[in-house]
Chain A
Amino acid sequence: MRAMVYRGPYRIRVEEKDVPAIEHPNDAIVRVTRAAICGSDLHLYHGMMPDTRVGHTFGHEFIGEVHEVGPSVQNLSVGDRVMVPFNVFCGTCFFCARGLYSNCHNVNPNATAVGGIYGYSHTCGGYDGGQAEYVRVPFADVGPGLIPDWMDDDDAVLCTDALPTGYFGAQLGDIVEGDVVVVFGAGPVGLFAARSSWLMGAGRVIVVDHLDYRLDKARTFAHAETISFTEHGDVVRHLKHLTEGLGADVVIDAVGAEADGALLQHVTAAKLKLQGGSPVALNWAIDSVRKGGTVSVVGAYGPLFSAVKFGDAMNKGLTLRMNQCPVKRQWPRLFEHLRNGYFKPSDVITHHVPLEDISEGYHMFSAKLDNCIKPIVIPTAAA
């Protein structure tokens, strides 16, 4: 089969690989019909995530058709159209039993601090991902869901991570009616978090980024006010000014490890890899939320330490809430919202890229060329 493989920082290519095999009785092999490139894939691509091995196939957002099932699989059949949450999870460990599917303890030998994630380095379990023609899906009776007949493929692939993560980020904010919500990051997750904040009763939503075309999207797609942080010498001061000196009730960090806007953080984290991530957006969140407010973090950071302004968080009495999203838990309610027309996830898709051109797709997405917000990868066999 054809598959994207990592060759080192900023270098990927497409190679022939063996079609994955059933390795556990509850495995399925899925023929991928759509995969997405996620902003967090760029952390791998840029060499920021420890134990990212040459030869690894990325891709944790994908949908497809069941190609083969293991002997204990009861809930799926060959030919089913399935959407696969980015979380690999067993369904019964201490954490899964409590709904924390993203924190499953039975799927990742390499780390206890993070669950299993498809195509996201060995730190997240060493599973090859879905930017390929076929992918191994463990716990086929637990993770994948059938794609509803009314849902098209582009919407479905965004339900495997970006949309539920944004929706989850807004939930972590514990938004109450009339809250002022600031979202750092106007990528897909930030756009969905901003849009979700209205569902939870926000009274004002402000999105901060530096890319003008993404801020345009935040205004039209998420009905948000926008701020470009490059137009303000001090974005925290500007946000305080907009909130009569108090700060926002809730701030959502939808940026994560490669936040720009502070040179020291950029150099030490994004370039020299001496931090788990550049916490510029997180520090701005801590400083721009009001005392007693809530900071929600759904941007991804690496496992190494980061220079976070924890003293300010403590002195302000903040609630910091965060996690990788337990995707499947979001689906029933999210699907109601989709059917009601509150979301059209595919509105954020800007590019469809053939798998064979994926290295140019990564470069375009990484360098933010051609007004790219969300690129979708079409595997060769699905084209």
Chain B
Amino acid sequence: MTYTPHKPRLAEDSDQLRSRIPGWGADLDPADRPSVPREQFDPGRTGAHWEYPDEQPEKWPRERSVEHTQLPPVFGTAQPPTGLSGAIRRYAYAKYSEGQAAHWLLLMAGDRVDTVESALRSVLTLHPDNPITETGVLAEVKRHGMSSRLGHNRADVKHHWMDPFIVGAPWVAALMLLLRLTRRARGHA
């Protein structure tokens, strides 16, 4: 195909598309598109009857980004930070801005610690973790796991076999490192 000033021809013109597709061109005029222009100054249209909202009571020192100049007036109160994971999370918020990778990597680490802490705590309750029901793996039987995957040329199926090794490798490496450090510490004792 030679490169010329013209747009490539379309298989159907606008009239054909309008007759085939319900609503074709209804928002052809950008003025009809609700997010055009992107910013439209109109603070009166939201239903708010305040310029600055009442402030929600802070029932514990709410962790917050150091990029905020104040605690926002409204916030979620679900799952206050607790345990070692809570300490990691509080440190990540207090020490690093959102612009630093350490902030996010610490929060990810806190999530993994939280998972282990919660699994250990659940053993002490009447409702311990149940990997069968919590993973929903029974859907494999009820929702046609095999036939949904096989014969459809799905991209994800091609790497299914290696996924457990990839996910497990860091945990195995961490465990080996821990064992090695423990042995070394005993050797020095």
Which residues of A are at the interface with B, using a C-beta cutoff of 8 A?
Answer: 7-13, 15, 23-26, 47, 50-57, 72, 74-75, 88-92, 96-101, 105-113, 116, 122-123, 125-128, 138-139, 141-142, 168, 171-172, 174, 177-178, 180, 196, 198-201, 203-204, 210-212, 223, 228-231, 243-246, 260-261, 263, 266-267, 271-273, 276, 302-305, 326, 328-330, 332-334, 337, 340-343, 358-364, 367-372
CB distance from A1 to the nearest CB of B (A): 14
A92 contacts B43, C-beta separation under 8 Å: yes
Closest to B154 in A: A210
Contact B167 A271 (CB under 8 A): yes
Contacts of B27 in A (CB 8 A): 171, 196, 199-201, 333
20 A-B contact pairs sorted by A residue (CB < 8 Å): A7-B118, A7-B119, A11-B129, A13-B134, A24-B73, A54-B79, A57-B78, A98-B40, A99-B35, A105-B72, A110-B64, A122-B79, A139-B48, A141-B49, A201-B27, A245-B1, A276-B104, A329-B35, A342-B22, A367-B139
Residue from A138, A273, A361 within 8 A of B108 (CB atoms) = A273
B43 pairs with A91, CB closer than 8 A: yes
A201 touches B152 (CB 8 A): no
Q: Do residues A177 and B25 form an inter-chain contact, with CB atoms below 8 A?
A: yes
Query: Which B residues lie within 8 Å of A72 (CB)?
Result: 49, 54
Q: List the B side residues contacting A229 at CB < 8 Å.
A: 155
Residue-wise interface mask of B (111-151) relative to A, using a CB-CB cutoff of 8 A (1 in contact, 0 not) = 11011011100100001011101111111101111001100
- The answer on a CB contact under 8 Å between A92 and B52 is yes
Residues of B within 8 A of A359 (CB): 133-136
B 140-174 contacts with A by CB, 8 A: 140, 142-145, 148-149, 152-156, 159, 163, 166-167, 170
Residue B187, interface by CB 8 Å: no
B143 to chain A, nearest CB (A): 4
Known: A13-B130, A50-B108, A361-B136. A109 touches B25 (CB 8 A): no
Tier of interface size on chain B:
35 or more
A47 to chain B: which residues have CB within 8 Å? 111-112, 115
The answer to whether B24 and A360 touch across the interface, beta carbons within 8 angstroms, is no
Chain A residues whose CB sits within 8 angstroms of the CB of B73 once the complex forms:
24, 90, 106
Which residues of chain B are within 8 angstroms of A107 by Cβ–Cβ distance?
72, 74-75
A272 touches which of B1, B46, B74, B166 (Cβ 8 Å): B166
New A-B pairs, 11, CB < 8 Å, besides A72-B54, A245-B1, A361-B136: A12-B134, A26-B53, A72-B49, A89-B46, A105-B72, A198-B17, A203-B14, A230-B153, A337-B23, A367-B145, A368-B154
Task: Quote the shortest CB–CB distance from A23 to chain B (angstroms).
Answer: 6
Closest to B164 in A: A271
CB pair B26–A340 under 8 Å, yes or no, is: yes
In the bound assembly, the distance between CA atoms of A157 and B71 in angstroms comes to 32
| Nearest CB of chain A from residue B122's CB, rounded to whole Å | 8
CB < 8 Å neighbour of B152 from A55, A172, A212, A329: A212
Q: Is B28's CB within 8 Å of the partner chain A?
A: yes
Q: How far is the CB of B129 from chain A (nearest CB, A)?
A: 6
Q: Which of B10, B46, B153 has the most CB of A within 10 A?
A: B46
Residue numbers in B under 8 Å from A342 (CB-CB): 22-23, 26
| Bound complex: CA A204 to CA B98 (Å) | 40
CB distance from B80 to the nearest CB of A (A): 9
